[in-house]
Amino acid sequence: MNSQHFDLIRVTIFRVFRRVSVLLYFWILFAPQLQAAEPAFIRESIRARGMGNAFTAAANDEMLLFYNPAALRSVYYNMYEVVGFNITTNENTINLGKSSSSFSTIGSLAGKKIYNEANLGLLSHVNSRFGWSFFSNGLLDIQVRNPIIPYLETKAYVQTGLAGGMAWSFLDYQLDVGLGGKLATRKGIDKKLHITDASVIELLEDQKTTKLMKLAETSETSLAPDFGVIYHFDSYHNMEPKVALSLQNIGGLDFKEAGKVPMTMNIGVSTESEFNGFDMILAADYRDLADSQGMVSKGNIMTERNIKIGVEFGWQKLFNGHHLISIRAGRNGPYNSVGWSMNLFGFKIDFAKYSEEIGGYSGELEDKRTSLQVSLIF
């Protein structure tokens, strides 16, 4: 075999290698990955997050309208929240802020999230018959994909809205039935952005979201009703067990470019009792029975990530139904959660440390988060 044949073979191999390399590059860049977005929601309770978010049957405060309107019948006081402000962030956000080079760090964040959330509740009131809550909140939720040439699955929005509801009791106060609804206006985006996008560069280099929010051209308003029932069993050894079912966001909330919040069917059980001077709540939920959020893997009928378990100990109940001090613990899917609250002359502080599953299956990828809330209540 002469040198011309060797040259021809070498050139052919080089061309094949180059084409395979190009195809492999684009496959890595665009190939579908095992991933699942975390469940969409309108608002969540910091108190509930501290106890694994098990709140379908246990809810009994100003945030119950976002879990089960029938829980109004579990409120034995007039509760008013003049204003409540909370923030939530995750570890990756803090780590990104410490980095000297955002672009070098962003590749190492592949598969992880940048998560920041801020909520404002205004003039919320609940009693045993009806309740309402005005709210405004914002979310920056960025999932980084592909370590080679990263792109960002971006959910960023601001929204304002009103939640309200009414409840009634039947069967000698053993069956509670509640009707509610949410009206919200949201402006934002829910889309993929590549690292070369001007809005992403501004976010990474200057930690600003000005260009990101300009991608949202219009705001969308959506309305959805809620329905819930709670059945109270007879007291047993100082325990008051109950079982609950709620349909949240019936028909779904559709904000177009700013994303959707599907209807979810949730079930829960809880019991309340007094234990050595403490008021104790034990609770467990299974969220999204119909899998509207798409969290259940193909071939399965349920997932651990939808199981919520929690406990709360409250000491020294005050005139408005809140406790002077409360401590909480729980299990949010495969991950633990803890929390506490303190009331000081109408000022209430809530803290929660919890994790969310952001991988394709339960236990794959943990995202650690911290929430802090300050409220003025009476």
Q: Per residue in 146-175, pLDDT tens?
A: 767 777 888 999 999 999 999 999 999 999
Question: Measuring CA to CA, which residue among 149, 154, 140, 58 is closest to residue 110?
Answer: 149
Query: Does residue 309 sit within a domain?
Result: yes
Q: Pick from 360, 356, 344, 308: which is nearest to 115 by CA?
A: 356
Residues 11 and 56 in one domain: no
The answer to whether 308 and 53 are in contact (CB under 8 A) is yes
| In the predicted structure, residue 359 carries a pLDDT above the cut 70 | yes
> Within this chain, do residues 65 and 26 fall inside the same structural domain, yes or no?
no
Alpha carbons 231 and 276: distance in angstroms, whole number: 27
Burial of 238 (0-12, 13-18, 19+ CB in 10 A): exposed
Helix residue ranges per DSSP H, the chain: 3-30, 46-50, 91-98, 102-108, 198-206, 210-214
CA separation for the pair 155, 143 (Å, rounded) = 9
236 near 272, Cβ under 8 Å? Answer: no
* Same-domain check for residues 205 and 238: yes
The predicted pLDDT at position 204 comes to 67
Q: What is the pLDDT of residue 24?
A: 37
Other CB atoms closer than 10 Å to residue 166's CB: what's the count? Answer: 14
Does residue 36 lie in a domain region? no
Burial of 26 (0-12, 13-18, 19+ CB in 10 A): exposed
Give the pLDDT score at 67: 98
Q: Is the pLDDT of residue 294 over 50?
A: yes
Count up the domains in the chain and report the number. 2
Q: What is the pLDDT of residues 53-89, one digit of tens each?
A: 999 999 999 999 999 999 999 998 899 999 999 999 9
pLDDT band at 25 (very low <50, low <70, confident <90, very high): very low
Residues 80, 14: one domain?
A: no
**Does residue 99 form part of some domain?**
yes
Q: Both 244 and 191 in a single domain?
A: yes
| Residue 275 placed within a domain | yes
Q: Do residues 21 and 57 both lie within one domain?
A: no
Q: Please report whether residue 37 resides in a domain.
A: no
Which residues neighbour 312 within 8 Å (Cβ) at sequence distance 6 or greater? 47, 50, 51, 58, 280, 281, 326, 327, 328
Domain of residue 74: give its range: 45-377
Looking at residues 9-30, what average pLDDT do you find? 44
What is the Cα–Cα distance from 278 to 252, expressed in whole angstroms? Answer: 39
Q: Where residue 353 falls among pLDDT bands split at 50, 70, 90?
A: very high
What pLDDT does 38 receive? 84
Query: Both 250 and 373 in a single domain?
Result: yes
Report yes or no: 289 and 31 within 8 Å, Cβ to Cβ.
no
- 53/57 Cα distance (integer angstroms): 11
Percent of the chain at pLDDT > 90 equals 60
CA-based Rg of the chain, rounded to a whole angstrom? 24
For residue 157, the cross-strand partners are 139, 188
Q: Do 330 and 231 sit in the same domain of this protein? A: yes
Same domain for 165 and 277, yes or no, is yes
pLDDT tens readout for residues 222-250: 999 999 999 999 988 889 999 999 999 99
Q: Is the pLDDT of residue 341 over 50?
A: yes
- Are 307 and 372 members of one domain? yes
Q: 51-55, 65-69, 358-362, 365-369 — which is least confidently predicted?
A: 358-362
Q: Is residue 350 part of a domain?
A: yes
Using CA atoms, how far apart are residues 302 and 355, in angstroms rounded to an integer? 20
Is residue 337 over pLDDT 50? yes
Question: Does residue 158 share a domain with residue 122?
Answer: yes
